[in-house]
Amino acid sequence: MFGKVDCIINYAAESHVERSIEEPVPFIRNNVDLVLNVLEFARKVKPKAVVLISTDEVYGAAGAHAAYAEWASIVPSGPYSASKAAQEAIAISYSRTYGVPLILINCN
């Protein structure tokens, strides 16, 4: 049904912080469902890479010159950053369990 897929890039997610605070349940469900659909698709088509573009907000509040080391503790401050942290955790689990080739990027 699908041709060869080299790379899947997931950057689309609910990202409006205020909306996540006003309506957290549908917001979080959307972001978790989104990454599950992407990863299940990846399991079927076996791409060379799945790129998950996340946010530095998964690490918590940042000052003007904040920098985080790779694999720093995840301590989200609100529903948006928590939903992105959940996406990361799920993606890492798919990489470890199913061999989905994951590239995780935390942008700010």
* Catalytically annotated residues: 56-57, 80
Which string of b and e fits 4-24 if b means at least 16 CB within 10 Å?
eeeebebeebbeeeeebeeee
Question: For the CA atoms of the chain, what is the radius of gyration?
Answer: 14
- The rounded distance, in Å, linking the Cα atoms of 24 and 81 is 11
Q: Is there a contact between 95 and 102 (Cβ–Cβ < 8 Å)?
A: yes
